[in-house]
Structure 1
């Protein structure tokens, strides 16, 4: 006879386990804080479901049937595993072997990635870090899907989303080292004559649009002649021609010279982008996820708290 687990009240399995452990209906009722009649009724329901007496009376105690004895080890093991899973055991970072997924733009991967990796190696030595681009929030699903644990970027909105302000990142306009306008103080008119490479990491919510809004507020028309999905792609293009692009200042200062670009002297549209840590309610109270968020926060901010 095939029995579907969904057809069984799981409390009945706890009743059977306790009766088999105590070898007494009365002691089982005391342990489970219910009446003896409730235990007897539970056993009766199980007998009907399983087609077996399960236990028979012997004096003041009970004797398990062969079927009950066969079930006893599986019941004990399953209930113990469930207890361990539900028990709020202290989180032990050195023994954590989980894989954490962080979604962050390539600028953050270059500037904060090494610091985050160093902290992972020091504080979560057995864990794994998977870093994906912002576009992965589209291809893998949003933070509620379970594919991404933490996102660093522009603050989002949505059901169950937690957002923690992280830092304000200044942006700068950069060009190749030998650009004709390098070393000159640019006027609004000169800025309006430049041709730009825009960075659009996620369609419909792009860094390009944020920068464009800053230009618009300054009254300067921004001529975007090329759009790329990453900051490093924008740098690669700008380093080889007279196009310009806007980068986070930390990337321009930390790797710009090495990658072949330098900041232009422009009165605007330097502005700040507010970045946040974003995660879903599903991991909000999880000890490992909370530890990982602290580790990433410290890595980005470059401090121990």
Structure 2
């Protein structure tokens, strides 16, 4: 017999009778009448082709088939109860895997602190970190692949954005760039070609076009990349320029041979958000994990270097 043809409520009745060894006590446990228990057992006997219980004196005794079903029923109903109502979340014992999308090297410096807190407070849990480019093309937070993202973020239905920290941006070019010295004029700035960073599918950092438009300059975008680290690498090997977070330039600039360029466009403030979807908003484990990320610290400290003046 296929289980799809079986009324699963009958198994709840069988479990109660097996536990109580009495129709009357099982009826009180399930808040039904003894006749309802007897009717349920009669239907189950027909479905399973077994008497399930026999009378012995004033009580009942389970058949070998019923005895064999008892531990399986108890375990299955307990697991189903936990699945329906949700088992209590215990950080100390959870073995859950948490997935975190991080945009760039500027956010990667937070990982040691996150890992330290995770080991101390959720020692049996596991953290999986993915790049923001995978996050953008893989369905993002609406999928089951990513739980939380640390990114610029864009408002969207079902998406929660919480400012995690803010940092300033700087225009950068490679050392010995033929057109971009330590300072560029408005006309020189208009002649430069840019690397655009895609902070959401099809969208760049939206404050930049407005800042250039106010000066009457339309940025000439030569290349679009998925993150700030990729933009820094491209700038280091070409005559393109890019607007990047100061914290990232201070870390990668000396190694890549980048330097900051003063321009008529004032520094902009970049907001890095903690992002999550409505599907995980109320989940106790995710609430705890998001709080752990918050406690991992605010904006990463930047070193004072000539690359980020």
Partner residue of 2:173?
A: 175
State the secondary structure of the residue aligned to 2:9.
Answer: helix
Q: Is 1:288 matched with 2:276? A: no
State the secondary structure of the residue aligned to 1:69.
Answer: helix
Q: Is 1:130 matched with 2:128? A: yes
Q: C-alpha displacement at 1:198, in angstroms?
A: 1.9
Partner residue of 2:74?
A: 76
Contact kept? 1:196, 1:223, Cα under 8 Å: yes
Contact kept? 2:209, 2:219, Cα under 8 Å: yes
Question: 2: CA distance between counterparts of 1:100 and 1:214?
Answer: 38
Question: 2: CA distance between counterparts of 1:224 and 1:158?
Answer: 26
Scaled by the length of structure 1, the TM-score of the pair is 0.85
Cα offsets for 1:242-283 (capped at 9, x unmatched): 321111122123332333212211231522233322222332
Partner residue of 1:37?
A: 35
Partner residue of 2:47?
A: 49
Pairwise CA RMSD: 2.7
Question: 2: CA distance between counterparts of 1:242 and 1:302?
Answer: 30
Q: Is 1:228 matched with 2:263? A: no
Q: C-alpha displacement at 1:81, in angstroms?
A: 3.4
State the secondary structure of the residue aligned to 2:218.
Answer: coil
Contact kept? 2:15, 2:73, Cα under 8 Å: yes
In the superposition, relative to structure 1, how do residues 175 and 119 fare at CA in structure 2: closer, same or farther (>3 Å)? farther
Question: 2: CA distance between counterparts of 1:134 and 1:148?
Answer: 10
Question: 2: CA distance between counterparts of 1:281 and 1:9?
Answer: 34
Scaled by the length of structure 2, the TM-score of the pair is 0.84
In the superposition, relative to structure 1, how do residues 237 and 281 fare at CA in structure 2: closer, same or farther (>3 Å)? closer
Unaligned segments of structure 2, at least 5 residues: 301-309
In the superposition, relative to structure 1, how do residues 178 and 285 fare at CA in structure 2: closer, same or farther (>3 Å)? same
Question: 1: CA distance between counterparts of 2:43 and 2:160?
Answer: 45
Unaligned segments of structure 1, at least 5 residues: none
Q: C-alpha displacement at 1:117, in angstroms?
A: 3.3
Q: C-alpha displacement at 1:157, in angstroms?
A: 4.3
